[in-house]
Amino acid sequence: MAVDVKRYVQECRECAMSKSPRHLPAGKLLPLPVLNRPWSHLGIDFIIDLPVSEGCTCVLVIVDRFSKSCRLVPLPGQPTALETAKCFFNHVFRYYGLPEDIVSDRGPQFTSRVWRAFFKRLGMTISLSSGYHPQTNGQTKRKIQEIGHFLHTFCHSHQESWSQFLYWAEYAQNSLRQSTTGLTPFQCVLGYQPPLFPWDGEPSDVPAVDYWFRESERVWGEAH
């Protein structure tokens, strides 16, 4: 009955003609541009307030909007604007070259003069999301949700070691087939999919090696 009543009210001809909406008109939709190559347009954000692991409590999440590939960088805390820019050079620029545009929220690192001046010198544009409108950087927000689910599960029983195995989470995320492209991020960027756990599980003569592989396999399973 509720559905019928709602439909009846919405289709009322007199109401449609005589009643006017009381809210402000919605702004024009300005979608992000369609991209032509991997790692040309990036989205960035932080995961903060994690349990201390090897001195790290924060993760810098960098997402390629073309391939959906990600880089996860453990950090001791929220960095300054210059430290964040240096992280970009160390973990993105030297591997994939300089991007054209970076989308972020309006955190203090991304609104500072240092951040703007750094990327202006490199000929790159900075795009800030609208206030209270995280959809602008939706791909990065979604990736943070996925990584956050993994870290929440993993940190529950391994709070002191999440930073050691964060890179397996990155490997797993970059091996997941994306519904928008039909490819994994590895395939989209590299042109092929690297092996998914190439070892056969046979024990080694070195206990430390066995332990590392067992832990990595467990982390891979949870992240995937």
SS3 43: strand
pTM, entire model = 0.75
d(CA 109, CA 97): 22
- In percent, the amount of the chain with pLDDT more than 90 equals 28
Give the pLDDT confidence score for residue 187 in this predicted structure.
93
Cβ atoms of 47 and 163 within 8 Å: the answer is: no
Give the pLDDT confidence score for residue 185 in this predicted structure.
92
SS3 64: strand
What residues does 47 pair with on adjacent strands?
59
Give the pLDDT confidence score for residue 84 in this predicted structure.
92
Cβ atoms of 32 and 41 within 8 Å: the answer is: yes
Give the pLDDT confidence score for residue 186 in this predicted structure.
93
Residue spans of the chain under pLDDT 70:
18-33, 130-138, 197-202, 223-224
